[in-house]
Structure 1
Amino acid sequence: MTEKIREIHADSGGIYGLPRVHAVLKREGVHVGRKRVERLMREDGLAGISPRRKGFTRRDPKATLAPDLVERDFTADPPNRLRVTDLTMIPTTEGPLWLSVIRDAFSRRVVARETSARADADLVLTTLEYALATREVEPAQDEVAKSAYPL
C-alpha cells in the first residue's frame, strides 16, 4: 500500500496530500481507510503542499532595526514637515491590491496615494514623487531650518 501511495504522490509532483491521495485510491477501486492512508503517508514522510500562505513579511531576527527618527511621535507643529507612510494589502477576487499612502502628520491629510498589483519599490517611489509634487513648503529662513527639515 505504501508503494501505491508513494507512486500517486510522485505522479502529482509531490503536491497531493492526504485528501487527494485517498480520493485517487478510492477512484482506482482500492478500499482503504483515510486514517490508514494518513498513517502510512506520515510514516513515509509524505505530505502535500498547502496553497495557503501564512504571511508576506517575516523579519530576520538577526537584522538590526532601522533607527526611529521620529521617536514614535507622529505629530508635527508646522505643516509639511513630517510625512508618514503606509503600505497595505487589500484582498480582492482578482488577487491582492497594494495601496501606498503618504500623509501629512500635521493636517492628517493624504497628500499622495497609489495602487498596484505588486508591492515593489516602483509603487513606493511613485507615491513619493506625487507627494513631493504636491507639497506646499515655504522656503526655509536659514540653514539650520533647512538641515532640520530635509523634506
Structure 2
Amino acid sequence: MIALIDEHRDRFGVEAICRTLGATACGFITSRAYRAAKTRPTSARALRDAILIEEFRRIHAENYSVYGVRKMHHAMVRAGWQIGRDQTARLMWAAGLQGVRRGRKPITTKPAGEPDAHPDLVERRFAAERPHQLWVADITYVRILGGFCYVAFITDVFTRRIVGWAVSASLHTEGLPLLALEHALLSTGASRGREGLIHRSDRGAQYVSLSSSDALITAGVSASVGTVGDSYDNALAERVNGLYKAELIHSKRLWESVEAVELATKGGCTGGTPPACMKPSATALPRRLRRLTLTIRTQRPLRPDLGPKPRALQLPSCAVQRAQLRPLPLPYLLSASSTAEMQLRREEVRK
C-alpha cells in the first residue's frame, strides 16, 4: 500500500488516494498513518533481511547459481549464519533466486517478440475432405551424443502421412521448417499455387518469420497459426511427434549424431517397415462412416417371443471420434437378431 501511494502521490496527492482507498474493501490506511509509516525507522528484521539477501546473492553466484532452498540453507549455516529453512525460502523468493531443475527440455519453438497478423484458419478442426487440403507442421528434438538435434515434420491431415521432414543441428528457419516444406511440395507432387492448401503451425519464431511467410506465399499456401503456448491448437502435429519418438527414437538409448537420426528418419519414411506415425492410418474409417452419428440398423428377430423390433443404435459423436482412431469393436458389428439367437441357443444347451 505504501508503494502504491508513493507511485501515484505526485499525480493525485496523498489525501485523495487515501480517501479513495478508504471507500473500497481494501482501504485501511489514512494519510496520517502513511506519513507515520514514512517517518518510522527501519525495523531490525528489515535491516537483517537486506544484509541476508546480499549474502544469498553472493553465495548463490559462487555456486554457479544452481543451489535451491535446501542447499542454500546448508551453505548459509556453514558460513556462520543462524537462519531457518523457511526464512531461506522467503528471502530467496524476495531476491528472485531459485535452484536449477533437472530434466529440463530444450525449447524448440520460441514465440516471436512482435505481434503478427497470421490468422487461425483451422480452429482445432483437424479434418480434411481430400489430400493436400490441410498440412500440420511442428518441430521436435532428439538427444544425441553431442547434445541435441531437431526434426521438423509436415503431416497431411487427410491421409495422416508424413509428407515432408527435415533434420538439422540448429533451429534456423532456412535449414529446418523451410526445408521440410520444400520436401513436402516435391514428395507429394503438389503444384505450387494449389487452391485451398493450408499450412498449420504454432506461433513460433521459425514459422512466423519473414522468410517463412515469403516461402508460403511463393508456394501459394495459406498460413495458419495457433495461440502461444497452447499445444491443443496443434494437437495432431504433437501426436505425430509423440509417435515418432515412441516408435523410432526411443527404441535406441542414445543416438550418435545428426546423420544417424537423419538416416533412421529417412528409413522410416521411405523404406523398410515404417512406424505407424509415418504411414497412412490403418484404422481410418471409410468415408460413408465419417458422420457425427452412426446408425446401425438391425433386423427383425426370427421368433416373436424374443421381444419387439430393436431400435436403431445411435452412437454419440464422442464415440465416433474414438472410432476414427481404432476399428469398430465386434459388438457394434453384430446385429441384435444374431445376438438374440446366440442367447437362445445358449439357453437350449443349458436345458
TM-score class, shorter: 0.5 to 0.7
Map of 2:78 onto structure 1: 27
Q: Is the partner of 1:148 in helix, strand or coil? A: coil
Cα distance in structure 1, aligned partners of 2:110 and 2:157:
26
Normalised to the residue count of structure 2, the TM-score between the two structures is 0.31
Secondary structure in 2 aligned to 1:101?
Answer: strand
Contact 2:128 2:158 in 1 (8 A): yes
- CA 1:67/1:34 → structure 2, altered by over 3 Å: closer, same or farther? closer
1:5-43 C-alpha deviation (Å, 9 max, x unpaired):
52241353494553333121222344432123334x169
In structure 2, the CA distance between the partners of 1:31 and 1:58, relative to structure 1 (3 Å rule), is same
Distance 2:142 2:83 in 1: 40
- 2:96 maps to 47
User: Which sections of structure 2, spanning at least 5 residues, go unmatched?
Assistant: 1-47, 197-219, 222-351
Q: Deviations over 1:96-150 (max 9, x none)?
A: 65432112344332111123454441310010121122122479xxxxxx66354
Change (3 A) 1:90 1:9: same
Which residue in 2 is equivalent to 1:100? 152
Are the structure 2 counterparts of residues 63 and 120 from structure 1 closer, same or farther at C-alpha, using a change threshold of 3 Å? Answer: same
1 CA distance for matches of 2:142 and 2:59? 33
Given the alignment, which residue of 18, 42, 62 partners 2:69?
A: 18
Name the one with the larger helix percent: 2
Change (3 A) 1:147 1:133: closer
Q: Percent identity?
A: 25
Alignment size in residue pairs: 140
Residue 142 of structure 1 aligns with which residue? none
Q: CA deviation at 1:67?
A: 2.5
Structure 1 runs not aligned, ≥5 long: 140-145
TM-score using structure 1 length:
0.60
Greater per-residue strand proportion:
1
Bigger RCO of structures 1 and 2 (CA < 8 A, at least 6 apart): 1
Instruction: Pick closer, same or farther for the CA change 1:91–1:20 going to 2, 3 Å.
Output: farther
Work out whether residues 142 and 151 of structure 2, in 8 Å CA contact, stay in contact via their aligned partners in 1. no
